[in-house]
């Protein structure tokens, strides 16, 4: 696997499908190469609003797994495009992560 240096990941959560693309920028040649992509059916969004978070998460995971498998890279930061109206709450805090792989689910 490539270490992900210079790799960008984009996620589009749509009403009928979720798309994930992994690309890498070549600064010397000033070009972007698509390394992998994945598309998964999404039944968790209706009329641009997330109505079933579990189905939406499953769709994101499937599309991301396919893109990662195709690209052969490890990803970190992801840019996400989500539909409709989004409400959010900003919060700060500290949480200890005891797992060796530092994964949070």
Domain ranges within the chain, ordered by starting residue:
7-74
Parallel, antiparallel, or unpaired for β 79-81 and 7-13? parallel
Q: How many CB atoms lie within 10 A of CB 57?
A: 13
Each as own residue / partner, the long-range contacts of residues 75-78 (CB below 8 Å, 24 or more positions apart, any chain) are 75/4, 75/7, 75/9, 75/22, 76/4, 77/9, 78/9, 78/10, 78/11
State the pLDDT at residue 1.
Answer: 45
| Residue with more model confidence, 83 or 36 | 36
The CATH classification of domain 7-74, taken from the options 3.30.300.30, 3.30.420.40, 3.40.50.2000, 3.20.20.70: 3.30.420.40
Question: What is the helix (H) or strand (E) element at residue 8, kind and residue range?
Answer: strand 7-13
pLDDT tier, 44 (very low <50, low <70, confident <90, very high otherwise): very high
pTM exceeds 0.75, yes or no: no
Give me the mean pLDDT over the 14-34 stretch.
90
Query: Which of 2, 4, 102, 19 lies closest to 64, judged by CA?
Result: 19
pLDDT tier, 64 (very low <50, low <70, confident <90, very high otherwise): very high
Model confidence pLDDT, tens digit, residues 5-22:
678 899 999 899 999 999
pLDDT tier, 4 (very low <50, low <70, confident <90, very high otherwise): low
Quote the CA–CA distance of 26 and 89 in Å, as a whole number. 37
Residue 104 predicted with pLDDT over 70? no
């Amino acid at each position: 696997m490539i270490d992900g240096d210079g790799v960008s990941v984009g996620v589009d959560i749509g009403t009928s499908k979720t798309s994930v693309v992994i690309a890498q920028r070549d600064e010397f040649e000033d070009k972007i190469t698509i390394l992998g992509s994945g598309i998964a059916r999404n039944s968790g969004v209706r009329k641009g609003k997330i109505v079933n978070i579990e189905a939406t998460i499953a769709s994101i995971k499937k599309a991301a797994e396919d893109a990662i498998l195709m690209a052969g890279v490890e990803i970190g930061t992801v840019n996400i495009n989500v539909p409709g109206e989004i409400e959010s709450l900003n919060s700060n805090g500290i949480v200890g992560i005891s797992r060796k792989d530092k994964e949070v689910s």
